[in-house]
Amino acid sequence: NAGVTQTPKFQVLKTGQSMTLQCAQDMNHEYMSWYRQDPGMGLRLIHYSVGAGITDQGEVPNGYNVSRSTTEDFPLRLLSAAPSQTSVYFCASSDPGQGINEQFFGPGTRLTVL
Amino acid sequence: QQQVKQSPQSLIVQKGGISIINCAYENTAFDYFPWYQQFPGKGPALLIAIRPDVSEKKEGRFTISFNKSAKQFSLHIMDSQPGDSATYFCAARESTDNNDMRFGAGTRLTVKP
């Protein structure tokens, strides 16, 4: 199993550009989430999905869109990048049926918006 | 405002010493308290977790102590090793809201040989 994979690892954007961060998992997990990690802030939840076709907002959703057409994939879209979106982005997945609902994180995407 | 407050921001410990990281939370509905370990360039990985029906949980050199009345919990790393050098995050969540995990700001631990 590859676990949770994310692409790209690094990305530099100019203000106003759009892009999609890719996330895929091969563990057949129902739950998937996107977090951003900023110095001194820990990880903050952007959007999450409890299954294919179902998404919801987290703590900091503004400026981001998501969709969940399959169990495996959960892309995060930045429609018009802003310098405030410079961050490290982590995708995570979990299986609520396993009780403790451990979240498995991907390796992250480091995004810089100029 | 952060619902989970973590201290210290950074910690330096000698090899063989005890590392202690503290967290405090505000929401009394939280009932799941994990600790994550993150190495540079990697995503966080679950280290150990506790529910509020117990006051302590131990796994190898790692122990969580939980004080429900004070709304505090801490991670103790016994016999700290250089390989433990990483950033540690505490977190908290309500079981009824499986995806709304609230994280502390993180503690960068350095264990000197």
Expressed in angstroms, the distance from the first to the final Cα of chain B is 37
Q: Is the pLDDT of residue B25 over 70?
A: yes
Taking all residues of chain B, what is their mean pLDDT, rounded to a whole number?
93
pLDDT confidence of B84, banded at 50, 70, 90?
very high
Q: How far is A14 from chain B (nearest CA, A)?
A: 23
Which of A54, A59, A103 to mutate to test binding with chain B, by most B CBs within 10 Å of its CB? Answer: A103
pLDDT, tens digit (0-9, with 9 covering 90-100), for A6-25 = 999 999 999 999 999 999 99
Task: Over range B9-30, report the average pLDDT.
Answer: 96
pLDDT, tens digit (0-9, with 9 covering 90-100), for A21-49 = 999 999 999 999 999 999 888 899 999 99
CB pair distance less than 8 Å for A90 and B2: no
DSSP, collapsed to helix, strand or coil, labels residue B65 as strand
Task: Over range B30-42, report the average pLDDT.
Answer: 93
Q: Is A34 exposed, middle or buried (0-12, 13-18, 19+ CB in 10 A)?
A: buried
| Chain B hits for A42, Cβ within 8 Å | 2, 4, 6, 89, 103-106
DSSP state of B84: G
Q: Out of B89, B100, B106, name the one closest to residue A58 (CB).
A: B100
Which of B99, B102, B103, B107 to mutate to test binding with chain A, by most A CBs within 10 Å of its CB? Answer: B99
> What DSSP string describes A78-89?
ESS--GGG-EEE
Q: Out of A40, A45, A94, name the one closest to residue B100 (CB).
A: A45
Tokens standing for residue A11: 């990305």
Tokens standing for residue A28: 């057949």
What local confidence, expressed as pLDDT, does residue A40 receive?
Answer: 83
pLDDT, tens digit (0-9, with 9 covering 90-100), for A66-107 = 999 999 999 999 999 999 999 999 999 988 766 566 889 999
Which of B42, B101, B102, B108 to mutate to test binding with chain A, by most A CBs within 10 Å of its CB? Answer: B101
What local confidence, expressed as pLDDT, does residue B98 receive?
Answer: 63
pLDDT confidence of B33, banded at 50, 70, 90?
very high
